[in-house]
């Protein structure tokens, strides 16, 4: 949130879509020419963040996702520690409900025999993504404003340059990071179950037989690569779009009482609808992961 | 919205969470769930068994009651029969006793009568003799009187 009174809608939206990026500081020495200062710091503009290149990190995404992941692990670990097979406490009941749900889903979609990884993987994905998506329901300005004001009080920085994107799953880094891990697991199980030869044969001899080997390789490689991309980008796209709608609704608040009240109604409506989306996206990510790992277990 | 090292950071965080979940979260919870499932199944089986046993016990109790009733009936009929027998027996006894008493009484009566008759006969004899002596003292007609006497004696 910019502190100047003359912020435009475009500026507001852009501000909300910028991550808090930590990396090598760059300054624009001339128009379009950026030079590194060699110092470590937060990017003060989207252009500077771009200039930081690959070796920079989105602190807001990491912070929120680790916080939420830690929360999730703390909750489930505390339940697991005090669990009894007798009459469950309400907390235990809640955790068990989720676990049973995941377990049923895994049992329904996964046919690769005994695998100790798939179910915990499904649980981690579902709950973590759900919590990250849930941040979308927090009013868009609430946490960024708190962080910006806090930073300006604590460190004396200009709050208009403090970016904070609250929903980690609207950062493609977060979703693609998870998709990469899933991709890695797919490859691992493909090699483990089918063997190197078997996996390579699957990539090169299907679907058209050995006489169309190059076509097969291209097709199967695209199929294989499409999986992690579709996983990560689907979640990112959905959450990004949802967040965008929230931001657009939020820009209406400055347009007077009437439009502001309409915006309030819209926000409530969209938030209610979004509850469905965030759960659904978490569920889809989980089910697809299970299905992909199941496919890695299938011998042809 | 740049792809940067956050990608790697997220992947590492994700892996750590999966590992943690796999090691410390999932097994104890799923174990407890399985254990509870087993407990419930055992409980249901025990309940079923208990019910079955109760049915058996009820059946057995009914049988025992039935047997007891039958036995009681048997005892009662036996007792009735025995009672009837006793009554009959005593009736018989009484009858035979009565007959015996009657017979002995009759015998006695007969005896008494015979005795009385004998006595009477002897007395009649002596009376006759006395009478005869008296008559004789007046007139003796042996012949006529002997006939008379004999006739008298034979009539007794």
Instruction: Please state the ipTM of this predicted complex.
Output: 0.89
Beta carbons of A85 and B36 less than 8 Å apart? yes
Q: Can you tell me the distance from the alpha carbon of B116 to that of B110, in angstroms, rounded to the nearest whole number?
A: 9
pLDDT of B136 higher than 80: no
Query: With contact defined as beta carbons under 8 Å apart, do A57 and B5 qualify?
Result: yes
Is the minimum CB–CB distance between B10 and chain A shorter than 8 Å?
A: yes
Q: Which residues of A are catalytic, by number?
A: 230, 234, 238
Which of A103, A124, A180 minimises the CB distance to B11?
A: A180
Looking at residue A227, its pLDDT comes to 93
Which residues is A41 bridged to in the sheet? A23
If you average pLDDT over residues B26-53, what whole number do you get? 93
- Which residues of A fall within a CB distance of 8 Å from B17? 69, 72-73, 124, 128
If you average pLDDT over residues A192-202, what whole number do you get? 87
The SS3 assignment for A38 reads strand
Asked, as a colleague might, if the bond just before A207 is cis with ω within 30 of 0, I would say yes
Q: Which of A155-164, B131-140, B145-154 has the lowest mean pLDDT?
A: B131-140
Give the H or E element holding residue A231: helix A213-251
If you average pLDDT over residues A95-104, what whole number do you get? 92
Q: Can you tell me the distance from the alpha carbon of B151 to that of B128, in angstroms, rounded to the nearest whole number?
A: 12
Instruction: Give pLDDT tens digits for A5-28.
Output: 456 788 888 888 888 888 888 888
Q: What is the mean pLDDT of chain B?
A: 88
pTM, 2 dp: 0.76
Looking at residue A183, its pLDDT comes to 95
- Which residues of A fall within a CB distance of 8 Å from B14? 124, 128, 177-178, 181
Those residues whose C-beta lies under 8 Å from the C-beta of residue A259, and which sit 6 or more positions away, are A252
If you average pLDDT over residues A141-166, what whole number do you get? 84
Selection from A191, A140, A183 nearest residue A285 by Cα: A183
B/e letters for B87-115, b = 16+ CB within 10 Å, e = fewer, are: eeeeeeeeeeeeeeeeeeeeeeeeeeeee
Reported as a pLDDT band with limits 50, 70 and 90, residue A99 is: very high
Q: Can you tell me the distance from the alpha carbon of A266 to that of A249, in angstroms, rounded to the nearest whole number?
A: 7
Work out the minimum CA distance from A20 to partner chain B, whole angstroms: 10
Q: In which order are the strands placed within the sheet that holds A33-42?
A: A33-42, A21-30, A57-58
Query: With contact defined as beta carbons under 8 Å apart, do A213 and A205 qualify?
Result: yes
Q: What angle do CA A151, A152, A155 make, to 5 degrees?
A: 70
Is the minimum CB–CB distance between B99 and chain A shorter than 8 Å?
A: no
Which residues is A57 bridged to in the sheet? A22
If you average pLDDT over residues A167-172, what whole number do you get? 90
Q: What is the mean pLDDT of chain A?
A: 87
- Which residues of B fall within a CB distance of 8 Å from A66? 13
Q: Which of A142-146, A147-151, A204-208 has the lowest mean pLDDT?
A: A204-208
Those residues whose C-beta lies under 8 Å from the C-beta of residue A11, and which sit 6 or more positions away, are A2
Beta carbons of B18 and A121 less than 8 Å apart? yes
């Amino acid at each position: 949130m910019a502190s100047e009174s003359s912020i435009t809608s475009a500026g507001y939206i852009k501000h909300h879509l910028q991550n808090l990026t930590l990396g090598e500081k760059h300054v624009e020495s001339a128009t379009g020419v950026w030079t590194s200062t060699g110092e470590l710091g937060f990017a003060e503009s989207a252009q500077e963040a771009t200039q930081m290149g690959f070796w920079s990190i989105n602190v807001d995404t990491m912070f929120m996702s680790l916080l939420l992941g830690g929360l999730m692990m703390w909750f489930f670990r505390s339940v697991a520690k005090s669990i009894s097979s007798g009459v469950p406490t309400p907390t235990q009941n809640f955790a068990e409900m989720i676990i049973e749900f995941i377990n049923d889903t895994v049992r329904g979609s996964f046919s690769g025999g005994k695998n100790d990884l798939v179910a915990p993987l499904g649980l981690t994905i579902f709950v973590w993504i759900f919590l990250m998506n849930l941040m979308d329901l927090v009013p868009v300005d609430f946490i960024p404003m708190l962080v910006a004001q806090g930073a300006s009080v604590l460190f004396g920085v200009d709050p208009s340059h403090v970016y904070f994107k609250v929903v980690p799953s609207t950062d493609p880094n977060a979703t693609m990071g998870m998709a990469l891990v899933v991709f890695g697991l797919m490859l691992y199980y493909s090699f483990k179950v089918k063997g190197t030869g078997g996996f390579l044969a699957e990539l090169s001899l299907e679907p058209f037989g050995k006489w169309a080997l190059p076509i097969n390789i291209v097709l199967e490689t695209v199929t294989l690569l499409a999986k992690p991309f579709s996983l990560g980008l689907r979640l990112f796209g959905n959450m990004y779009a949802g967040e965008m709608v929230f931001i657009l609704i939020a820009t209406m608040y400055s347009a007077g009482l009437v439009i502001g009240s309409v915006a309030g109604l819209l926000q409530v409506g969209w938030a209610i609808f979004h509850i469905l989306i965030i759960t659904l996206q978490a569920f889809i990510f989980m089910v697809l992961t299970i299905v992909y790992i199941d496919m890695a277990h299938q011998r042809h | 919205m740049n792809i940067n090292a956050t990608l790697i950071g997220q992947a590492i965080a994700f892996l750590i969470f999966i590992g943690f979940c796999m090691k410390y979260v999932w097994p104890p919870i799923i174990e407890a769930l399985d254990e509870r499932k087993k407990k419930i199944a055992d409980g249901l089986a025990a309940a079923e068994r208990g019910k079955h046993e109760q049915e058996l016990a009820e059946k057995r109790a009914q049988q025992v009651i039935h047997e007891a009733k039958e036995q009681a009936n048997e005892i009662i009929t036996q007792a009735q029969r025995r009672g009837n027998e006793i009554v009959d027996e005593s009736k018989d006894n009484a009858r035979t006793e009565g007959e015996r008493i009657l017979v002995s009484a009759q015998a006695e009566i007969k005896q008494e009568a015979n005795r009385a008759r004998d006595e009477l006969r002897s007395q009649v004899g002596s009376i006759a003799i006395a009478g005869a002596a008296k008559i004789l003292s007046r007139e003796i007609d042996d012949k006529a009187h002997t006939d008379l006497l004999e006739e008298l004696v034979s009539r007794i």
